[in-house]
Chains A and B, each alone.
Chain A
Amino acid sequence: MRAWLRQHRQALGAALRRLSRPAGLASALVIGIALSLPAGGYALLESLRGVAGRLTLEPEISLFLAPEAKRAEVEALGARLKADRRLTAVRFVPRDQALRELAAEPGLAEVIAALGRNPLPDAFIVSGKENRTVEALAADLGKLPGVAHVQSDTLWARRLASLAAIGELGLWLLATLLGGALIAVTFNTIRLQILTQRDEIEVSKLIGATDAFIRRPFYYFGLLQGLAGGLVALCIVGAALALLNREVRALAESYGSGFNLSFLAVGEAGAAVLFAGLLGWLGAQLSVSRHLKQIEPR
């Protein structure tokens, strides 16, 4: 057991020494730059999704009531909507609350103060179950007594949702391609290492090294190179976001918003690094099983 641990420590040490050479560092850098593209894209998309999350992507229908509607009428309508099985959520927005929300929007407070009275009606905001039938549903709901006006934001919501989906798909394609590149880079660096260590491998086989013993440093190297590449990618993304944020913040401030681009969550960043390590290990595995067989003592 102790001998086994010592062998692993030695293999890890050998892998670390190889990685710290200029060639090893350069490969880790290449991997890092490649991976920073999908990782950065993901951070951007998540930041934008944060904004879009406030604009809900579920189809919402706003039912504006007649300004003169009585309290009893409003309650009857509310009960009827809650009983409607086509709806997933029903939320009542009293006109006073709507006014308060509007006043909280930057730049509108002065306008509302100038109006003197509340021009807004009571409203129900309901969500439909399905995107496709929402227009028919809206037309249906418009016929209910007490409803003065119906508005559905489906087009806007649908466009945003499909843009987000395109962005996500694009990122997945990019991540898949560059993950493949990571495997290829590792495959090749390890092929070169095996070639330069041909003599050592041959001698080791001659004096009784098992295949596992010979492969171990290469596996560790692939894993470490992937992990290092992942860390480099995170550093690049962090630096790029910090740079972008200076401008983004200035822009957002001019709109009265505190929006900025956020870095990956700790769990996501960790998962990205681990995944890069896993791909590196896979590249090593492929390379070693292909190239070590060709070296046998003669």
Chain B
Amino acid sequence: MVSFSAVAKRYPGGKEALKDVSFALQSGELAFLTGRTGAGKSTLLKLIPAIERPSAGSVIVNGQNVGALKRSAIPYLRRNLGLVFQGQKLLYDRSAFDNVMLPLAFSGHGPREAARRVRAALDKVGLLERERSNPIQLSGGEQQRLAIARAVVNRPALLVADEPTANLDAESAARILDIFVAFNQVGVTVLIATHDQGLVERYGKRELRLDQGRIALDQRRGA
């Protein structure tokens, strides 16, 4: 599903965020990407939807070499990915329902089918009764769940989340993680970046640990 081989990323100005990163994520797998702040987790995740391009090595997603993808092909790559990024990037000028509707505007579904999918996605994250609310009226955990609903409304095969439990209390964080695990159980490949080592140990899945831009640990735990 996702495969990195000898990937390096240097930002303009010389900062080396990733060095010789190689790993593969099988279809249907759930993995945690861990490491301290600044270890390169966000950079690694941004290479998957081609928000950033690798300086060296290759990033293969769904059989496509993302680093070599033409600009015009990037939107079609992203439509098959579910992205939950830091800061959520929700739109505060419209309802929760319309936020989740956004990816369906260009997916070619009819209005009725689109509305049905939006409600299904909101239902999965437990926000169905809040569909009319503005995101600003939602709690931090609810906003994060709304962002997840938007990421999964297109039923992507791969879900990528950057610190989805940051700034959340333990209970909200656990709820978010449960949602990801539920998606994984129905076959969605999931990659979650987190600096919360406790969570990783509790869920007992694969852990990829980054340290100063290198993979320092790649470990599968028995759940």
Which residues of A line the B interface, CB within 8 A?
A: 2-3, 6-7, 10, 199-200, 202-211, 213, 296-298
**Complex Cα–Cα for A30 and B55 (A):** 50
- Neighbour of A207 across the interface among B83, B93, B108, B109, CB < 8 A: B83
Which residues of B line the A interface, CB within 8 A?
A: 49, 51, 72, 75-79, 81, 83, 85, 89-91, 93, 102-103, 105-106, 108-111, 150, 154
Q: Note all chain A residues with C-beta closer than 8 A to B90.
A: 203
Contact A10 to B105, CB < 8 A, known contacts A206-B83, A207-B150: yes
Return the chain A residue nearest B79 by Cβ.
A208
Q: Note all chain B residues with C-beta closer than 8 A to A2.
A: 110
Nearest CB in chain B: distance from A260 CB, A: 52
Contact A298 to B75, CB < 8 A, known contacts A10-B105, A207-B103, A210-B106: no
**Complex Cα–Cα for A208 and B110 (A):** 18
Contact A203 to B89, CB < 8 A, known contacts A208-B76, A209-B75: yes
In the A-B complex, the 9 residue pairs with the closest CB atoms: A3-B108, A208-B79, A208-B78, A207-B103, A208-B75, A210-B75, A213-B106, A203-B89, A297-B51
Contacts between chains A and B (CB distance < 8 A), count: 57
Contact indicator A7/B83 (Cβ below 8 Å)? no
Other contacts beyond A7-B105, A213-B75: 8, CB < 8 A:
A203-B91, A206-B85, A207-B83, A207-B102, A208-B103, A210-B72, A211-B75, A298-B51
Contact indicator B51/A7 (Cβ below 8 Å)? no
Nearest CB in chain A: distance from B101 CB, A: 11
**Complex Cα–Cα for A74 and B81 (A):** 96
Nearest CB in chain A: distance from B65 CB, A: 18
**Complex Cα–Cα for A203 and B105 (A):** 13
Main secondary structure of the interface of A (DSSP, over half): helix
Contact A207 to B79, CB < 8 A, known contacts A10-B105, A298-B51: yes
Q: Note all chain A residues with C-beta closer than 8 A to B154.
A: 207-208
Return the chain B residue nearest A204 by Cβ.
B102
Which of B75, B77, B83, B103 gathers the greatest number of chain A CB atoms within 10 Å?
B75
**Complex Cα–Cα for A202 and B78 (A):** 13
Nearest CB in chain B: distance from A7 CB, A: 6
**Complex Cα–Cα for A2 and B78 (A):** 23
**Complex Cα–Cα for A209 and B108 (A):** 12
**Complex Cα–Cα for A206 and B85 (A):** 10
Q: Note all chain A residues with C-beta closer than 8 A to B81.
A: 208
Nearest CB in chain A: distance from B58 CB, A: 22
Nearest CB in chain A: distance from B150 CB, A: 7
Report 9 cross-chain contacts, Cβ distance below 8 Å, ordered by A residue: A6-B110, A7-B105, A200-B93, A206-B85, A206-B89, A207-B78, A208-B77, A209-B75, A213-B106
Q: Note all chain B residues with C-beta closer than 8 A to A296.
A: 51
Q: Note all chain B residues with C-beta closer than 8 A to A207.
A: 78-79, 83, 102-103, 150, 154
Return the chain B residue nearest A296 by Cβ.
B51
**Complex Cα–Cα for A2 and B106 (A):** 12
Nearest CB in chain B: distance from A166 CB, A: 51
Contact A206 to B49, CB < 8 A, known contacts A199-B89, A199-B91, A200-B91: yes
Q: Note all chain A residues with C-beta closer than 8 A to B72.
A: 210-211
Nearest CB in chain B: distance from A128 CB, A: 64
Nearest CB in chain B: distance from A202 CB, A: 7
Nearest CB in chain B: distance from A216 CB, A: 10
Contact indicator B105/A206 (Cβ below 8 Å)? no
Nearest CB in chain A: distance from B212 CB, A: 22
Nearest CB in chain A: distance from B51 CB, A: 5
**Complex Cα–Cα for A209 and B105 (A):** 9
Which of A3, A200, A207, A210 gathers the greatest number of chain B CB atoms within 10 Å?
A207
Nearest CB in chain B: distance from A209 CB, A: 6
Nearest CB in chain B: distance from A207 CB, A: 4
Nearest CB in chain B: distance from A54 CB, A: 61
Q: Note all chain A residues with C-beta closer than 8 A to B79.
A: 207-208
**Complex Cα–Cα for A117 and B51 (A):** 98
Return the chain B residue nearest A7 by Cβ.
B106
Q: Note all chain A residues with C-beta closer than 8 A to B83.
A: 206-207
Nearest CB in chain A: distance from B15 CB, A: 15
Q: Note all chain B residues with C-beta closer than 8 A to A203.
A: 89-91, 102
Nearest CB in chain B: distance from A172 CB, A: 40
Return the chain B residue nearest A203 by Cβ.
B89
Which of A199, A208, A296, A297 gathers the greatest number of chain B CB atoms within 10 Å?
A208
Nearest CB in chain A: distance from B216 CB, A: 26
